[in-house]
Amino acid sequence: MSKRLFTVYVFAKLATKRFFRDRLALFFGILFPVIFLFVFGSFSSNGGNNTHFNVALINQAHTALANKADQLISQSNVFKVQSSINTVAAANKKLNENQIDGIIVLPPNFGISTNGQPKGVAQVYYTINNIQAGQTLTALLKSYFNSVNRRYVSYFGPLAVNGQATTNKSLTPFDYTFAGLLGFSIVGIGIFGPVNVFPELKKQGILRRLHTTPLKVWQYFTATMIAQAITGLLSLLIMFIVAIFVFHLKVIGNYFSIGLFMAYSIIAILGIGLAIGGWAKNERQAAPLSNIIVFPMLFLSGTFFPRYLMPHWLQIASKYLPLTPVIDGARLLTTEGYSLVQIAPQIGLLTAWIVIIYIIAFRVFKWE
């Protein structure tokens, strides 16, 4: 091993050891992303296929048919009946406070027989600023009652609708959430790590003393890249384990390809941290600049919600941010089974950013 590469090895080893000895770095580098995974993963798991309406069900009739309808609604997976609400007044209070989506009232004459057939009109109440949810709630309740009506009246309609599921499985909200949280973790590792460490090393005079040695900037950067890639992959591995065993993430991609792309992404985003940390003389310079760069990326690259929810012009603009190909590539590899060849556009965009970012990082780096 040449002396130059041995120097890189030594400093990479030292940087890795420093990370595992720093409790604060361990918390923000490993534990904090896992906490975010639990928080946002729980939100995603409760949505999607588990959509339901919180309703108050007021049964004023208590006829046989009303009790049957009450049971049908209460046992439904679509309606989540708040059993603690027993009066219309209490239900209206909860509705006005937006604690429920609607009120279903079975009036006193609901289910009373007329001409030998039971009849009844259930009333659905919802607020004017929640019309869409109220109309959906009304339509769902009609479909439930239609299944009951067929037991009493035979009816043939000339038009019909037949629904059939395709063989394709769509992405779940958690698929988008997990890819975004991988990007969030990489940002924490690649940007906030150097931004916090470099100014402190300058303050202590460590970088100035290193500058008096034959150590080159490229050697120091390469050692930092290796150390951050190792610790970053460990953090991401823990996130994958939690996502698979706790939130039942289905990884259909190749793990080796995922690992390679994650390491490449860490190196790409790390360049931003090296540029900011290497330029800043102290924390007062580093913190504002890193926040100006990081927060727009987090909110516009699909970290916390999918980019397809954004306006079209914003989707196009955010496509070229450094973090966007990281998140898109992670999702395509992990949950859609793409290969590295198929995500060539994302890799190409990352490569372009690596060239730009590291040129800037080398030019602005200061030893003190």
Indicate left, alpha or beta for 52 from its phi (over 0: left) and psi (-120 to 50: alpha): beta
Partners of residue 323 on adjacent β-strands: none
Q: How far apart are CA 208 and CA 201, in angstroms?
A: 9
- Among the residue ranges 38-52, 61-75, 205-219, the one predicted with the least confidence is 38-52
Interval 59-80 mean pLDDT = 82
Q: Compare 298 and 156 and report the one with higher pLDDT.
A: 298
pLDDT at 220: 80
pTM: 0.70
Q: Where in the chain is the domain with CATH 3.40.1710.10?
A: 52-149
Interval 192-214 mean pLDDT = 76
Exposure on the CB side of residue 129, measured as CA atoms within 13 A: 5
pLDDT at 159: 46
pLDDT at 48: 47
Indicate left, alpha or beta for 108 from its phi (over 0: left) and psi (-120 to 50: alpha): alpha
DSSP 186-225: HHIIIIIHHHHHHHHHHHHTHHHHHHTSS--HHHHHHHHH
pLDDT single digits (tens) 253-299: 889 999 999 999 999 998 888 888 888 777 777 778 888 888 888 88
pLDDT at 262: 92
CATH class of 52-149: alpha beta
Kindly list the strands in the beta sheet with 79-81, ordered across the sheet, starting from the edge strand earlier in the chain: 79-81, 53-59, 102-106, 123-125
Q: Compare 153 and 6 and report the one with higher pLDDT.
A: 6
- CA 8, distance to chain mean position in Å, is 36
- What lies within 8 Å, CB to CB, of 112 at 6+ separation is 61, 63, 118, 119, 120
Interval 242-256 mean pLDDT = 85
Q: Compare 211 and 158 and report the one with higher pLDDT.
A: 211
168 pLDDT above the threshold of 70? no
The mean of the pLDDT values for the chain is 80
pLDDT at 15: 76
Q: Compare 45 and 102 and report the one with higher pLDDT.
A: 102
Q: How far apart are CA 8 and CA 2, in angstroms?
A: 10
Which among 205, 213, 198, 333 has a CA at the least distance from the CA of 278?
198
Interval 115-138 mean pLDDT = 79
Which among 160, 195, 204, 206 has a CA at the least distance from the CA of 284?
195
Interval 327-348 mean pLDDT = 90
Q: Compare 96 and 255 and report the one with higher pLDDT.
A: 255
Interval 21-29 mean pLDDT = 74
E strand or H helix that includes residue 318: helix 312-318
pLDDT at 356: 92
pLDDT at 350: 93
Interval 188-205 mean pLDDT = 78
Q: Which of 28-32, 294-298, 344-348 has the highest mean pLDDT?
A: 344-348
Q: How far apart are CA 247 and CA 120, in angstroms?
A: 43
pLDDT at 92: 86
Q: How far apart are CA 355 and CA 119, in angstroms?
A: 74
Interval 160-183 mean pLDDT = 66
pLDDT at 261: 94
Q: Compare 352 and 213 and report the one with higher pLDDT.
A: 352
- What lies within 8 Å, CB to CB, of 181 at 6+ separation is 33, 36, 37, 40, 41, 239, 303
Q: How far apart are CA 152 and CA 138, in angstroms?
A: 21
163 pLDDT above the threshold of 90? no
| Secondary structure class of 112 (helix, strand, coil) | strand
